Structure 1
Amino acid sequence: MTELSTTVPALAPAAVEALVRRVYGIEASTRPLAGERDQNCLVEAADGSRYVLKISNPSESPAVVDFQIAALDHIARMSPEQPVPRVVRTLAGHTQDTVALTERVRTRVRMLTYLDGIQIRETVRTAAQRRAMGAGLAGLNRALHGFAHPGAAHDLLWNVATAHRLGEQLDSLVDGKQRALAQAFMTRFTTHVLPRLASLRSQVIHNDCHLYNVLVAPNDQARIVGIIDFGDMVHAPLVGEVATAAAFHMAGNADPFEGPAQFVAAYHAVLPLTGAEQEVVADLLATRHLITALISEWRAARYPENRAYIMRHNPAAWEGLAQMADLSRDTARDRLLAGVNVHVPTGATP
């Protein structure tokens, strides 16, 4: 929990602009962007170019920062058509630099290209858009297949495969009904999912493909033009990627499985889920809601000044758990996989 327990860096705008000038040779104005662990800034250069400057949380491991940079460079080399940010080199030709937060604390700084587009959360969701997101994420996972880095196995709470480590947070839930609901899904995870995870495919995944992190074209809101925020990347079971992303499509329809089913079917058409993955994907969708609820409740109490950002997914997470509470595991699985007609052999590869 170290990264989530350390205050986000807060360099003043003038200091950020001086940093951009010194490290990148760019005269620019800056303004803050939201972030959970890092200080993020939009950099607007005099010539109209825009970038995103990321000042890492000082508790973030240097290996993790290297990992995130290396992954973007890997995608740029292996699959340049992917709509992801590019790493901007410093004046010295490096992918990152350091900055002093205090006399005794230094941290890493890096800059990425800014992608234009509309966040999907600001659009009217459609079936075509969900299918585009599913296919797009599958394509990104194909691009990341085979990528390896020492920092990829870092310890991350936002990993559905390690949800059991949040068990101690259950007792901190004040609402008794919410606590019972969370406990039921934690038991489902530890009993039915956790023992199977080691046998499933794993690779580096984006791990945060939600409606804030996917951009679409203004004139075609079913065309994906950007996948951003690689801060939660981790080496983990591939099916966790699918479940995590699908969880964000439950809200907004009379049938809460309509959107997730469309998303999963499109993903499966590009990168088929194995039979074993299909058996647990709905469980992991619920697990994503569970960890969202637990982590956001804990962090909002700890950092009330950032409560609006931290709690943005909290209501939907509790709603999703409530909608799944009375369904059997088999029923939830079948409804989520309604658009997946063919079970492929366990062990299939991208």
Structure 2
Amino acid sequence: MFDEAGAAVRLRVSLAAWRWAAGSGLVPAADAGEGRWSRVVVESVDAEGVRAGLRGPVPACWAAERLTEALGVPVPLRRPRVTAAAVGHLVRAGYLVRLGGEREFPDVHPDQVAALARRRDLPAVLDRCVPLGPGEAAVRLGVRRTDFDHVVRLGWVSPVGRVDVDLGRACGGVVEVPLYSAVDVALLPVVRPAVDWWGVRRTGPGRRSLLAVLLPVVPGGDLVELGEVARIAGVGRVAVTSWRRRLPGFPPPVAGQGTGVRPVFERRAVVAWLLAAGRLAVPGAPGTASLRVSGAGTRTGAVRTVRLDDPVLVLAEAVTGTDRVSGWLPETGADVLDVLGEGPAGLAVERLTAPGAGAVGLGVLGGARVSERVRSGGGWCWVEVSWPARVRGR
């Protein structure tokens, strides 16, 4: 009977090659217990085939960069970069095979990384399998780190694990860092609909968090009525009443709270049921708009295309009004808009493709300005570009 190391020695192949062959199905499954093979199985394996099957391995940092690139360039809004530690979590979840290296930062097969990078559900896989540190959780939520610290203080999320991180002697040595479920973090704006998340996300550096005035939830006191359950699920109250009556497993009302007419339920239990029943989805990537701009009245010919994430387009009903488009973009993109709009004629929007702009988009000959800009950590800015409605064209 052989474990993985013994099997590799018996066939005179590297341990990484055996691990890849076992993980990818090139050799029979372990038949003598978990991670153990019988002599008959090991000696029946084609050693040359095992050696030929391995290309690599590659370190976890390389795999992390490839997966980050697969998310998009630049990395999409509210999506943290994939780290080497995240590769370790993907190995433990069974999406990659550890070929060597440290257990927390494993070496993996480049072809398997490439296959994972091609998956359309890669963001969902990362949310399910990779817990986030406080800084990464703030990025996933789209807020500043100080805002996320308030989220923790309020008791809205709890750690799902902890990890020791060595910051070096000058920074305090080894510290314990809490880890949070990416799904729980991403769902916060959905399950806490009463919070002004739009305002929280637009709070700039140095300003007090809008969450600072809120009080923490008390144990057993995070309760919701049917009306708020309906808001969380994005349906009417009648639908929730029907679910409660027809579908199994709906959480029971909290005893001693509410009334027979207005029962109350534990928020966490309701959210868990909605997810399990397929009535609630983790928010995906926000929508995008494409903004092709140039400096109006200039002869430089400088034309740039920037991408606005989570855009909002408001078109005035009267020609005397003002049109506005707002959204998030990297700080470098905001700088491009500022530079092009420095002239007296402002910006010319050669083409705007966004929800609400119509199938062919719209254009603005000139007079567009960056009317507001808020920097909110993580290298992103919220900007609003406005122009007189009378100069709008299609």
Pick the structure with greater CA Rg.
2
Structure with bigger strand share is: 2
Q: TM-score, normalised by structure 2?
A: 0.23
Structure with bigger helix share is: 1
Q: TM-score, normalised by structure 1?
A: 0.25
